[in-house]
Amino acid sequence: MKSVIAQHLVKTYRNGEVRALDDLSLDVEEGTVLSVLGPNGAGKTTTVRILATLLNPDSGQASVGGIDVIKNPEKVREIIGLSGQYAAVDETLTGWDNLVMFGRLYHLGKQASINRANELLERFSLTDSARRPIKTYSGGMRRRLDLAASLIVKPKVLFLDEPTTGLDPRGRQEMWGVIEELVKDGVTLLLTTQYLEEADQLADEIAVIDHGKVIARGTSDVLKKQVGGERLEVVVESQQIQATMEIVSKVSGNKASLDDALRQVSAPVSTGVSALIEVLRELDASGIHPLDVGLKRPSLDDVFMSLTGHVAEEGEQS
């Protein structure tokens, strides 16, 4: 069953001048993680805001947990959790204050709100800082608290909009750990990110979006294959480069390219390991002993580059 369905979403700003979403469709299977991957301004946040009932599309339909987000936003709000790019919590209040307040707003009773707050603080390793105002928290702690606030009533579907943007590597690692735990509990998760590595790490499926459209989707493996399989790479001594280029070109059937600085000869191959073995045999027959040799699968960076024709930009979200 699909927990999230978006069909032909269109959203324009400034009287149609800016098309934030341009016929975007996607869906998320129940209990799985879909990562929406795209550069700044691709339409990631707009998509999340529509699915989380914060924004109406100009046209198109969307449902979450089988409920229409445009016709029945109140019902949708009961089953979703949302954590955005910024920690949307009250910074003058303590972590505990915030969680209890959100518990009350989810209509848990007073005691239940307190219990849930304590539970979540414990789970996200924030118990020690529970009584400190949020503004004294580190970036990573804020994000964890923000995430905790979106989990008060165990949402069926969780939307995380760039959960690690702006965090340092350690904060990011911690956040990934927390998200992986959640996924184990079976929540359906839609996660946006501009970090290719993050999508690779966390998602069952990836939808690559650019200029308001889904331009590719599939598992990370499928996407990598779509870009054109593997590359064979051989590093040799300078004087053997020429001979190696000839061998690699012959075996792969493609023109080999050279990275001068690394003394690395490489070419796309379609036959994988057998190409690797053949190249090694030919090199050996010619008396060439490679310093390094391997098959490299394309990274998501390569995927992005080949799909969009431009590199994924990282930085501030517009």
Partner 1 sequence: MKNAISDALVITKRQLLQLARVPEVLLFSTIQPVMFVLLFRYVFGGSISTGQPGGYVQLLMPGIFVQTVAFTLAATASGLAEDMGKGLIDRFRSLPISRSALVVGRTLGDSLLNIVVLAVMGTAGYVVGWRPTSGLPKVLLAFLFLLLFGYALSWTGIFAGLSARDARVVQNMSFMITFPMTFLSNAFAPTTGMPRALQYVAEWNPVSTMVAACRELFGVKNQFGVTAGSFPSTHPLVMSLIYMVVIMVIFIPLSVRKYINSSK
Question: Which one, 34 or 89, has the nearer CB to partner 1?
Answer: 89
Question: Which one, 49 or 231, has the nearer CB to partner 1?
Answer: 49
Binding piece for partner 1, criterion CB under 8 A, among 21-29, 99-107, 119-127, 310-318? 99-107
Q: Does 70 bind partner 1 (CB under 8 A)?
A: no
Question: Which one, 13 or 311, has the nearer CB to partner 1?
Answer: 13
Question: Which one, 53 or 129, has the nearer CB to partner 1?
Answer: 53
Helix spans in 124-168 (H): 139-149
Question: How many chain residues touch partner 1 (CB under 8 A)?
Answer: 31
Q: How far apart are the C-alpha atoms of 146 and 99, rounded to whole Å?
A: 9
Q: Does 107 bind partner 1 (CB under 8 A)?
A: yes
- Encoded one letter per residue, x for contact with partner 1 by CB under 8 A and - for no contact, window 122-161 reads -----------x---------------x------------
Q: Does 104 bind partner 1 (CB under 8 A)?
A: yes
How far apart, in Å, are the Cα atoms of 80 and each of 44, 49, 87? 17, 12, 17
Which residue in 101, 112, 215, 243 binds partner 1 (CB under 8 A)? 101
**Amino acid in the structure at residue 262:** L
Q: Does 170 bind partner 1 (CB under 8 A)?
A: no
> Which residue's structure tokens are 């023109």?
255
Q: How far is the CB of 149 from partner 1 (least distance, A)?
A: 7
Q: Does 56 bind partner 1 (CB under 8 A)?
A: yes
Q: How far is the CB of 109 from partner 1 (least distance, A)?
A: 11
**Amino acid in the structure at residue 58:** D
- Residue 264, SS3 per DSSP: strand
Q: How far is the CB of 124 from partner 1 (least distance, A)?
A: 17
How far apart, in Å, are the Cα atoms of 218 and each of 27, 221, 247? 11, 8, 35
Q: How far apart are the C-alpha atoms of 241 and 250, rounded to whole Å?
A: 14
Half-sphere exposure at residue 235, Cβ-oriented, CA atoms within 13 angstroms: 8
Question: Which one, 52 or 234, has the nearer CB to partner 1?
Answer: 52
Which residue in 3, 32, 35, 94 binds partner 1 (CB under 8 A)? 94
Which residues, at least 6 apart from 285, have a Cβ–Cβ distance to it below 8 Å?
A: none
Residues that bind partner 1 (CB under 8 A): 49, 52-56, 74, 77-78, 80, 82, 84-94, 97, 101-102, 104-107, 133, 149
